[in-house]
Amino acid sequence: MSAYKVVWRGPVHKGSGLGIASREYVKALRRQGVEVEVGKSRKGSSKAGIRKKKTVLIYHYPPHTLNFRKERKRFDRIILNTVWETTRIPDLWRPYMNRFDAVFVPSEQNKRAMRNSGVKVPVFLVPHGVNTRTFSPRNRKLRVKKAKRRFVFVSVFGFQHRKNPETLLRAYWEEFSAADRAALVIKTDGYGKREDERWIRKKVKAYKKRLGIRKKTAPLVIRARRMSKSQLKGIYTLGDVFVLPTRGEGVGLPFLESLASGVPVIATGWGGHMDFLTKKNAFFVRYKLRNPASGMKGKASISRTFSDIFAQKDQRWAEADLGSLKKQMRAAYSDKALCKKKGRQGRRDALHHSWNRAGRTMKQAVEKVIRKSK
């Protein structure tokens, strides 16, 4: 066991990407021999009472929610584990960032965002991983009647503006008619009880009408309901290619899960996912960096914007080029052999991005922070 103890506070019980990362980091650290306690340290504990071991708090919640005065009495070091999706962090975070002893982020884009935002404390790159046993080319495909004997585009995302469902839908509708043997299968979720599958379908239908698209298009399948683990795994292997013209990702776990499943991706060429996507496993969509607020108003916005954190004046994220997305989708559709080749490479690449690797990297970073004199 390690000569120090880590207390992990994060959304370990959530089903979100943050929740997955929290759980996997905890398990990975434990496999590296680190003593990890999830949640709060024992009541009444303090530095004086735990001198036998250095105690480190890794905080995986928004930085402004931590009571520094209270926690400095309990822990020898306090580290923020975080992720962000634009070029700069929210204004609300900034006064708190340099009060941590270090910040852990999962991608090079995040390191740049931290530095651009005035973070002066050490920033360590601690990448995410993917479970290549869970996500595998051997997984049984999800059965979708409308996708049978068609070239299948799949996409997995939360129904929010950052994920850019508008450009994905428009590109598909404009590029693929009923004469094409294509299908788009989307797994998505809303944010709140009202944003259920019926609500999302209604939003999508109204958007298509606003665009004036009246021709019969290739099939679109939307799943916005609870799915079993086998169904979630099978939605990736159902696809010939995964597509998401995201505006910003700290990591992009669905991209990693798709690669692990042997399925190449079509992605915007900017974001945390660029740490592991290459021309050998992906098709890249051109983009321009824009202020997030520019696309949140008007007819083109159909999903939750979270404008309070994503629409500040000094922030930028990527707006995918519609024509480039259509071109890449058509290129994938027209060359299934190329998709298979990129998918095989993606699987090989994913094998190098294990959670064990993430755990080793995090352990090394924690130990550097401990050694650093205050």
The tens digit of pLDDT for each residue in 169-215 reads: 999 999 999 999 999 999 999 998 899 999 999 999 999 999 999 88
Q: Are strands 317-320 and 287-290 parallel, antiparallel or unpaired?
A: antiparallel
In 3D space, the residue among 69, 34, 70 whose CA is nearest the CA of residue 53 turns out to be 34
So what's the pLDDT on residue 275? 98
Report whether 9 contacts 59 (CB < 8 A). yes
So what's the pLDDT on residue 226? 87
Phi and psi for 217 in degrees, rounded to 5? -100, 170
| Location of structure tokens 């303090």 | 46
Answer whether residue 46 shows pLDDT above 90: no
So what's the pLDDT on residue 50? 45
In 3D space, the residue among 108, 73, 81 whose CA is nearest the CA of residue 97 turns out to be 81
In 3D space, the residue among 245, 231, 237 whose CA is nearest the CA of residue 340 turns out to be 237
Report whether 8 contacts 22 (CB < 8 A). yes
Under the banding of pLDDT at 50, 70 and 90, the label for residue 297 is: confident
What is the rounded radius of gyration, in angstroms, for the C-alpha atoms of the chain? 22
The residue that leads in pLDDT, 373 or 303, is 303
Answer whether residue 74 shows pLDDT above 50: yes
Q: Are strands 54-59 and 35-38 parallel, antiparallel or unpaired?
A: unpaired
Strands (E), 106-201: 123-125, 151-158, 182-189
CB atoms within 10 A of CB 194: 8
So what's the pLDDT on residue 276? 98
% of the chain exceeding 90 in pLDDT: 87
Claim: this prediction has a pTM higher than 0.85: yes
Phi and psi for 306 in degrees, rounded to 5? 50, 45
Under the banding of pLDDT at 50, 70 and 90, the label for residue 40 is: low
Answer whether residue 373 shows pLDDT above 80: no
pLDDT tens, 4-32? Answer: 999 999 999 988 889 999 999 999 999 99
| Location of structure tokens 């496999």 | 31
pLDDT tens, 83-136? Answer: 999 999 999 999 999 999 999 999 999 999 999 999 999 999 999 999 999 999
Answer whether residue 47 shows pLDDT above 80: no
Which of 91-95, 263-267, 294-298, 329-333 has the lowest average pLDDT?
A: 294-298
Answer whether residue 350 shows pLDDT above 60: yes
Mean pLDDT of the chain: 94
% of the chain exceeding 70 in pLDDT: 95
User: What are the residue ranges of helices labelled H in 98-228?
Assistant: 108-116, 165-175, 197-210
pLDDT tens, 304-329? Answer: 999 999 989 899 999 999 999 999 99
What domains are defined for the chain?
4-129+355-372 (3.40.50.2000), 145-352 (3.40.50.2000)
User: What are the residue ranges of helices labelled H in 226-354?
Assistant: 229-238, 253-260, 307-310, 322-334, 336-350
Answer whether residue 247 shows pLDDT above 50: yes
| Location of structure tokens 């922070």 | 369
Phi and psi for 250 in degrees, rounded to 5? -75, -35
pLDDT tens, 48-68? Answer: 444 578 999 999 999 999 999
